[in-house]
């Protein structure tokens, strides 16, 4: 059953056709991924599905009662609302109850003796019990915690752009509509948050349409791909890996077809150039066929992004840190983020830096780039280092030496760095270089403000690489870049003759580009050898060992049983020792009490309450109790099998 349908849909943007004559249906429990180059129209298509972007042609069909929620890349939030008020802002009945509960709780905090407020709160609790609103409240707090939002009572206007984006994501997820439309949901999430989101979306019961650069997420979650490119939208059944296979086969067929077409046209033109006597009597028909081949619509070739290395020579040392410290704050005058970091990065090192949001990853890159001073210690760059910093916000595009910022033409941004550049022994003009970065001549004279977010990132990358750096600092380079550009960038980094330091939450990108990781842990950088998948294996092994040790410590202690003698084995099963018998009696006494406490905790959690800290403590106690009961039951079974 189709929930949303676009029929004969078309949309133009300036001189470009984003898509035309498109039929797209979103079915029940759909898992659809939209991919394509930056500026091709993925976000526009997502907004058209949501009904917030009008179509130039065709129509959108869906039930007026259908629940559709869109996560935009630039969500518009009320700055006066608190985090919880925004998350509870949905129109569903349970959301309305939660908003009312939040409001009454604030009123009672100001007037604790008001009997009328207590009566209203009691009635509200009854209605929340009946509608299971407490479960939704706990889910709201859990989702906010998972996406990295701690203070749920702060006003949205006080939050950074990344935090507002995470609040918008949380509100979108807890709404649980029939159709969920997500535009780059992993932006501003750390790696643990992305893994959690992947699991959450995999279990989501409704329909999902997803635009993302995270290829692991795309491969795991989607079941159908729509590629938006060159004014067309092509459908591919299967996940991202299946799409890549189909796309490779498709490219081979197109190349063969283009070669065949060129060969036929070349032969026909050769015949046309011959003298009249050498031509056949069917000249008129053949001339018409040649004209049709020359003038007919030729499928535009896919643009190919070209990143050629222009790095200059680098010495034996790239970056050296000795007792380095980094503080928070725009001037580095806030609380400490990193202390006593000592390490050397060599000329061909591929280093990844990961950690929770706010840990200090970007601040460390700013210190290396010289944009802020270290709080302590020393940082030195090699004498031959030419450093390029690909920051999150593409500040070089926003500022510019002329102060015109986004009003500058695209080509002017490149000319500010160099009007001519040598790439692989070939001298290229600024315009030719931009064409290699998929900016056609017509687009080169548009203002930067007309570019999409991904196109601005691609322009920033072009601007940096023509300066021939030999040390690259990449801060969340995958944000807003399409998957094709990311693949080309990864290939470029494979051949790049220099040092690369990457801050990223993109697991695929880290697996492809780094061979050493540093993880922020309580103000320190812990070193791991290998890529991100290797780091996960080491982390999971350490967590499993710690959990096993915790379970062993929480289980009732007993001395190891004595080794059975050959005579005991011959005469029957081993008998319990006196100490083991006492241990069994203690377990038979304690297990019912623990089970009773478990039921009490489950009842308390089921009844809910406004005190989130208390609910968290109860949840933690219940988790520890369940582990203790499991270990005790296994021990009871082992002891009860022994002869008494």
HEC states along 517-535?
EEEEECCEEEEEECCHHHH
| Number of neighbours of residue 205 by Cβ within 10 angstroms | 9
* Helix, strand, coil percentages in the chain from 3-state DSSP, rounded to 5: 50, 20, 30
Asked whether 311 and 498 are in contact (CB, 8 A), the reply is: yes
Q: What is the mean pLDDT of residues 198-216?
A: 92
Of 50-64, 152-166, 196-210, least confident by mean pLDDT is 152-166
DSSP per residue, 38-105: TTSSHHHHHHHHHTSS--SEEEEEE-TT--EEEE-SS----TTSBHHHHHT--SSHHHHHHHHHHHHH
| Number of neighbours of residue 99 by Cβ within 10 angstroms | 16
d(CA 446, CA 158): 34
| Number of neighbours of residue 81 by Cβ within 10 angstroms | 16
> What does the CA dihedral 215, 482, 17, 303 come to, rounded to 10 degrees?
-110
Q: What is the pTM of this model?
A: 0.69
Q: Is residue 300's pLDDT more than 80? A: no
Strand partners, 643: 575
> What does the CA dihedral 211, 214, 219, 224 come to, rounded to 10 degrees?
10
CA of residue 2 relative to chain centroid, distance = 28
pLDDT given for residue 159 in this prediction: 86
If DSSP codes are grouped into helix, strand and coil, which group holds residue 328? coil
Residue 104: partners with Cβ closer than 8 Å, 6 or more residues away = 117, 120, 121, 124
pLDDT given for residue 628 in this prediction: 83
pLDDT category at 422 given cuts 50, 70, 90 is: low
pLDDT category at 247 given cuts 50, 70, 90 is: confident
pLDDT digits (tens, 9 = 90+) for 501-517: 999 999 999 999 999 99
Asked whether 331 and 349 are in contact (CB, 8 A), the reply is: no
The secondary element (H helix, E strand) that includes residue 8 is strand 2-13
Count H helices and E strands in the chain, helices first.
22, 20
d(CA 591, CA 639): 14
Give the closest residue to 36 by CA, choosing from 330, 247, 259. Answer: 247
More confident site: 489 or 265 = 489
pLDDT given for residue 40 in this prediction: 81
pLDDT given for residue 570 in this prediction: 39
pLDDT category at 491 given cuts 50, 70, 90 is: confident
Strand partners, 410: none
pLDDT digits (tens, 9 = 90+) for 319-367: 999 999 999 887 777 889 999 999 999 998 999 999 988 889 999 999 9
The b/e string for 42-61 (b: 16+ C-beta within 10 A; e otherwise) is: bbbbbbbbbeeeebeebebe
pLDDT digits (tens, 9 = 90+) for 431-449: 888 888 888 888 899 888 8
Q: Is residue 396's pLDDT more than 90? A: no
Strand partners, 5: 25, 61
CA of residue 584 relative to chain centroid, distance = 51
Of 267-276, 530-539, 617-626, least confident by mean pLDDT is 267-276
d(CA 77, CA 340): 40
Residue 615: partners with Cβ closer than 8 Å, 6 or more residues away = 138, 141, 605, 608, 609
The b/e string for 133-171 (b: 16+ C-beta within 10 A; e otherwise) is: bbebbbebbebbebbbbeebeeebeebeebbbbbbbbbb
Token pair listed for 194: 């992305």
d(CA 87, CA 175): 8
| Number of neighbours of residue 115 by Cβ within 10 angstroms | 8
Average pLDDT over the chain, rounded to an integer: 81
DSSP per residue, 189-208: --HHHHHHHHHHHHH--SEE
Q: Is residue 571's pLDDT more than 60? A: no
pLDDT given for residue 557 in this prediction: 58
**Residue 471 φ then ψ, to 5°:** -135, 120
Q: Is residue 172's pLDDT more than 70? A: yes
Q: Is residue 72's pLDDT more than 60? A: yes
| Number of neighbours of residue 103 by Cβ within 10 angstroms | 13
The fraction of the chain above a pLDDT of 70, given in percent, is 83
pLDDT category at 307 given cuts 50, 70, 90 is: low
pLDDT given for residue 12 in this prediction: 87
3-state SS, 531-563, equals CHHHHHHHHHHHHHHHHHHHHHHHCCCCCCCCC
Q: What is the mean pLDDT of residues 395-408?
A: 69
The fraction of the chain above a pLDDT of 90, given in percent, is 26
If DSSP codes are grouped into helix, strand and coil, which group holds residue 301? coil
pLDDT given for residue 564 in this prediction: 47
**How many alpha carbons fall within 13 Å on the CB side of residue 157?**
4
Token pair listed for 50: 């949501």
d(CA 29, CA 3): 10
Q: List the Cα angle 52/56/58 in 5-degree steps.
A: 90
d(CA 377, CA 361): 17
Assign residue 377 a region (left: φ > 0; alpha: ψ between -120 and 50; beta: otherwise): left
pLDDT given for residue 19 in this prediction: 85
d(CA 293, CA 287): 10
Q: Is residue 144's pLDDT more than 70? A: yes
pLDDT digits (tens, 9 = 90+) for 575-594: 666 667 777 878 888 888 88
Q: Are strands 68-71 and 57-62 parallel, antiparallel or unpaired?
A: unpaired
Q: What is the mean pLDDT of residues 23-33?
A: 92
pLDDT category at 104 given cuts 50, 70, 90 is: confident
d(CA 596, CA 604): 12
d(CA 625, CA 620): 9
d(CA 402, CA 433): 22
d(CA 220, CA 195): 11
pLDDT given for residue 568 in this prediction: 38
pLDDT given for residue 615 in this prediction: 65
pLDDT category at 565 given cuts 50, 70, 90 is: very low
């Amino acid at each position: 059953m189709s929930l949303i349908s676009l029929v004969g849909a078309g949309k133009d943007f300036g001189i470009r056709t984003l898509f035309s004559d498109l039929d797209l249906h979103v079915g029940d429990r759909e898992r659809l991924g939209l991919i394509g180059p930056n500026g091709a129209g993925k976000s526009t298509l997502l907004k058209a599905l949501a009904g917030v972007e009008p179509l130039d042609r065709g129509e959108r069909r869906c039930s007026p009662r259908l629940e559709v929620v869109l996560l935009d890349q630039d969500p518009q939030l009320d700055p006066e609302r608190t985090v919880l008020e925004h998350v509870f802002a949905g129109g569903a009945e349970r959301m309305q109850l939660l908003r009312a509960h939040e409001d009454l709780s604030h009123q009672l905090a100001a007037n604790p003796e008001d009997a009328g407020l207590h009566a209203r709160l009691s009635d509200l609790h009854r209605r929340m019990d009946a509608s299971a609103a407490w479960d939704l409240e706990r889910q709201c707090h859990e989702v906010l915690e998972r996406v990295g939002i701690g203070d749920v009572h702060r006003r949205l206007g006080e939050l950074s752009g990344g935090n507002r984006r995470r609040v918008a994501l949380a509100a979108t997820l807890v709404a649980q509509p029939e159709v969920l439309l997500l535009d780059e949901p992993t932006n501003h999430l750390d790696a643990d948050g992305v893994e959690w989101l992947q699991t959450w979306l995999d279990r989501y019961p409704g329909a999902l349409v997803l635009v993302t650069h995270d290829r692991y997420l795309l491969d795991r979650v989607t079941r159908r791909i729509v590629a938006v490119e060159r004014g067309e939208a092509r459908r591919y059944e299967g996940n991202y890996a299946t799409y890549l296979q189909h796309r490779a086969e498709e490219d081979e067929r197109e190349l063969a077809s283009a070669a065949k077409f060129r060969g036929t046209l070349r032969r026909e033109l050769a015949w046309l150039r011959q003298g009249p006597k050498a031509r056949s009597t069917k000249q008129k028909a053949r001339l018409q066929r040649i004209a049709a081949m020359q003038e007919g619509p030729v499928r535009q070739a896919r643009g190919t992004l070209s990143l050629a290395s222009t790095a200059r020579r680098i010495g034996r040392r790239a970056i050296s840190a000795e007792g380095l410290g980094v503080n928070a704050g725009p001037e580095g005058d806030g609380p400490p983020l990193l202390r006593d970091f000592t390490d050397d990065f060599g000329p061909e090192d591929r280093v990844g830096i990961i950690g929770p949001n706010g840990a200090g990853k970007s601040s460390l890159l700013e210190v290396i780039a010289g944009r802020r001073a270290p709080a302590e210690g020393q940082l030195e760059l090699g004498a031959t280092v030419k450093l390029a910093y690909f920051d999150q916000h593409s500040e070089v595009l926003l500022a510019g030496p002329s102060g015109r910022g986004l009003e500058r033409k695209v080509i002017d941004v490149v000319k500010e760095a160099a009007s001519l550049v040598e790439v692989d022994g070939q001298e290229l003009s600024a315009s030719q270089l931009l064409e290699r970065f998929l900016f056609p001549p017509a687009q080169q004279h548009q203002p930067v403000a007309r570019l999409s977010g991904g196109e601005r990132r691609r322009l920033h990358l072009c601007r940096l690489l023509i300066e021939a750096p030999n040390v690259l600092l990449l801060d969340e380079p995958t944000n807003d870049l399409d998957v094709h550009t990311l693949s080309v960038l990864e290939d470029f980094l494979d051949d790049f003759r220099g040092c690369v330091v990457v801050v990223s939450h993109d697991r695929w990108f880290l697996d492809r580009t780094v061979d050493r990781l540093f993880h922020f842990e309580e103000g320190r950088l812990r070193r791991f050898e290998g890529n991100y998948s290797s780091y996960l294996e080491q982390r999971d092994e350490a967590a499993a060992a710690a959990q096993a040790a915790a379970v062993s410590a929480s289980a009732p202690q007993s001395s190891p049983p004595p080794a059975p003698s050959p005579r005991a084995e011959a005469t029957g099963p081993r008998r319990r020792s006196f100490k083991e018998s006492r241990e069994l009696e203690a377990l038979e006494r304690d297990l019912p009490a623990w089970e009773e406490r478990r039921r009490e905790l489950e009842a308390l959690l089921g009844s809910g309450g406004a005190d989130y800290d208390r609910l968290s403590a109860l949840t933690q106690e219940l988790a520890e109790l369940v582990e203790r009961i499991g270990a005790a039951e296994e021990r009871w079974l082992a002891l009860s099998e022994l002869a008494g």
